[in-house]
Structure 1
Amino acid sequence: MAANSIEAEGAWQKALRSAGTGSCVELRPLDDGTVAMRNSRFPEGPALVFTRPEIDALLDGAKKGEFDHLAA
């Protein structure tokens, strides 16, 4: 999916904790049920697009602490 077609779909959302730091991962739901993810430092750069089951697995793993070793 081209970045410009993603731009037409709506607003990006980022975690409140990242506000003002410039180090943000932003997400937005797309009309087809997928979810786009991008680095806010590069808003014109590429976005990764994930299926709903992929996002559900990511969020479940994050809630269970499976990625805590990646946090600074």
Structure 2
Amino acid sequence: MSRPARTEAELIAMARAELKVHADCPDGIIISVVRFGDSWEFRAGADAATVAKPGFPECVAMLVQIGDHLGKQYDVKG
């Protein structure tokens, strides 16, 4: 049975919603979807000032966990 598919924008929106609930993330984090064959994961990016803010490492760690969870539920469209 195949998994439902979501666009990259939908997956990123889902991740941002989860992060708001579970982590105190600094503004300025850029989330992208990176594909590897049939799988995918989130990547976080930010400028140096955002990376230096409190909570950034915890936010990235939470994003990885969210990506693992969503990656088992959804494929990426396109």
Do Structure 1 and Structure 2 share a fold, with TM-score over 0.5? no
Q: TM-score, normalized by length of structure 2? A: 0.25
Q: Does 1 or 2 have the higher relative contact order (CA < 8 Å, sep 6+)? A: 2
Q: TM-score, normalized by length of structure 1? A: 0.27
More helix by share: 2
